DNA sequence: ATGACATTCAGCGAATGA
C-alpha cells in the first residue's frame, strides 16, 4: 500500500502537476492539503480520468484538504474531533481497507499573535487526544499531512527559521513529542534517522537553490502499521518543476 | 531591519502563508 501526502498550495493551479504525479507514482492514496477552494471548485476530472475518487473538505480561498484514492473510501470525519467549530477545513479522515487514514493541515501558529499560537497548540492537543482514542479502540492508523512542526534542529536548514518561530518553539515540539510518545512512529525518521531531509522550501530568497528547507510534512504510524513500514520517499524533484508548490510529496509504502 | 514570492479575492492592493 502506497500513500502520499502533499501540501499542493492550490489544487486548481497544481492540477496538472498532481495528475502527472499520480500517473507516475500511482499511490493508492494521495492526501492533499491547502487545496484553497470550495468543494464545488475542486478539479476532479483530471484525477477521475486516472481512476481516482475524491473526498473533499474545502473552504473558500484558504486551507482545505482532500483525499484521492484508487478504491472508494468511507469518510469517517470531516473535522478533527473537538475542533469542529473553528471554521477551518483542516482535517479529513477516511477508512481504507484495514486502516484509518487522517489527513491534516495543522495551523501554522505564526499569525494571530498569542491567540493564533494558542490555537495551534490546542489543535495539537486535540490531535493527540484523538490519536489516543484510536489507540484505545485498537484501530490501526496513519496521521499524515502538513504538521507545520520541525521536530528537531535537524529538521530545518540553519538560518531558515528564528528560534521563536511557531514551527520550532519548545511548546510546539513538546506537543509533537506527546504524539510520538503515545507510541507513534515518524515514518521518515524511522528509515532515515540522521539525514538532513526537507519537505518545504520557501518561494523567497532562493530557498530551494540554496537548499534552505524545512521538514514539516510528516506521516505518523500507529504501532502495528509501523511494523509494516517498508519505504519512504521525499519527492524532491517536484520542487524543480515549473510553477511548483512550496512543499513536495512524502511517499510512504506499507506492506499489505 | 527589511524584503524577497506565491496564491486568493477582489479589482489595480490586502491578507495569508512558514
State the pLDDT at residue A112. 86
Q: Which residues touch strand B (CB under 7 A)?
A: A 7, 9-10, 12-13, 34, 36-37, 60-62, 107-108, 110-112, 146, 148, 167, 200, 202-205, 214, 216, 243, 246
Q: How far is A177 from A167, CA to CA, in rounded Å?
A: 13
Domain with residue A56: its CATH number is 3.60.10.10
| Nearest nucleotide from residue A206 CA, by C1' atom | B4
Q: How far is A75 from A87, CA to CA, in rounded Å?
A: 19
| Nearest nucleotide from residue A161 CA, by C1' atom | B18
State the pLDDT at residue A167. 96
Q: How far is A58 from A53, CA to CA, in rounded Å?
A: 16
Cell of A174: 513538546
Please tell me which residue lies nearest to nucleotide B9, judged from CA to C1': A61
State the pLDDT at residue A225. 98
pLDDT (tens digit per residue) in A148-193:
999 999 999 998 999 999 999 999 999 999 999 999 999 999 999 9
State the pLDDT at residue A53. 98
Q: What is the pTM of this model?
A: 0.97
pLDDT score of A32 more than 90: yes
State the pLDDT at residue A27. 98
CA-to-CA dists, residue A60 to A13, A64, A89, A105, A249, angstroms: 15, 8, 9, 15, 24
Q: Which chain B positions have some atom within 7 A of a protein CB?
A: 3-9, 16-18
Q: How far is the CA of A212 from the C1' of B11 (A)?
A: 35
Lowest-pLDDT range of A81-85, A221-225, A235-239: A81-85
pLDDT score of A34 more than 90: yes
pLDDT (tens digit per residue) in A51-91:
999 999 999 999 999 999 999 999 999 999 999 989 999 99
Per-residue pLDDT band at A241 (split at 50, 70, 90): very high
pLDDT (tens digit per residue) in A188-220:
999 999 999 999 999 999 999 999 999 999 999
Among residues A124, A227, A136, the alpha carbon closest in space to that of A167 is found at: A124
Q: A169-205 burial, b if ≥16 CB within 10 A, otherwise e? A: beebbebbebbeeeebbbbbbeeeeeeebbbbbeeee
pLDDT (tens digit per residue) in A90-145:
999 999 999 999 999 999 999 888 889 999 999 999 999 999 999 999 999 999 99
**3-state secondary structure string across chain A:** CEEEEEECCCHHHHHHHHHHHHHHHCCCEEEEECCCCCHHHCCCHHHHCCCCEEEEECCCCCCCEEEEECCCCEEEECCCCCCCCCCCCCEEEEEECCEEEEEEECCCCCCCHHHHHHHHHHHHHHHHHHHHHHHHCCCCEEEEEECCCCCCHHHECCCCCCCCCCCCCHHHHHHHHHHHCCCCEEHHHHHCCCCCCCCEECCCCCCCCCCCEECCEEEEECHHHHCCEEEEEECHHHHHCCCCCCECCEEEEECC
pLDDT score of A2 more than 90: yes
Q: How far is A150 from A168, CA to CA, in rounded Å?
A: 6
Range of the domain at A136: 2-254
Number of domains in chain A: 1
Q: How far is the CA of A95 from the C1' of B13 (A)?
A: 44
Contact A51, A70 (CB under 8 A): yes
Amino acid at each position: 500500500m502506497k500513500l502520499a501526502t502533499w501540501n499542493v498550495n492550490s489544487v486548481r493551479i497544481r492540477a496538472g502537476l498532481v495528475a502527472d504525479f499520480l500517473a507516475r507514482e500511482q499511490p493508492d492514496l494521495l492526501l492533499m492539503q491547502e487545496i484553497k477552494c470550495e468543494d464545488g471548485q475542486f478539479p476532479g476530472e483530471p484525477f477521475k480520468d486516472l481512476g481516482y475518487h475524491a473526498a473533499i473538505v474545502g473552504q473558500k480561498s484558504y486551507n482545505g484538504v482532500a483525499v484521492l484514492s484508487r478504491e472508494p473510501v468511507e469518510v469517517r470525519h470531516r473535522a478533527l474531533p473537538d475542533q469542529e467549530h473553528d471554521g477551518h477545513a483542516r482535517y479529513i479522515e477516511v477508512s481504507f481497507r484495514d486502516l484509518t487514514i487522517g489527513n491534516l493541515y495543522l495551523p501554522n501558529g505564526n499569525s494571530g499573535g498569542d491567540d493564533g499560537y494558542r490555537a495551534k497548540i490546542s489543535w495539537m492537543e486535540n490531535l493527540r487526544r484523538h490519536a489516543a482514542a484510536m489507540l484505545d479502540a485498537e484501530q490501526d492508523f496513519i496521521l499524515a499531512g502538513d504538521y507545520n512542526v520541525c521536530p528537531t534542529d535537524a529538521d530545518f536548514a540553519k538560518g531558515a527559521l528564528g528560534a521563536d518561530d511557531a514551527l520550532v518553539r519548545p511548546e510546539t515540539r513538546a506537543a509533537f513529542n506527546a504524539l510520538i510518545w503515545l507510541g507513534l512512529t515518524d515514518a521518515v525518521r524511522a528509515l532515515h534517522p540522521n539525514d538532513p531531509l526537507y519537505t518545504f522550501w520557501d518561494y523567497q530568497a532562493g530557498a530551494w537553490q540554496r537548499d534552505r528547507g524545512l521538514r514539516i510534512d510528516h506521516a505518523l504510524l500507529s504501532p502495528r502499521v509501523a511494523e509494516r513500514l517498508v519505504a519512504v520517499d521525499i519527492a524532491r524533484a517536484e520542487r524543480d518543476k515549473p510553477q511548483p508548490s512550496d512543499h513536495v510529496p512524502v511517499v510512504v509504502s506499507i506492506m499489505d
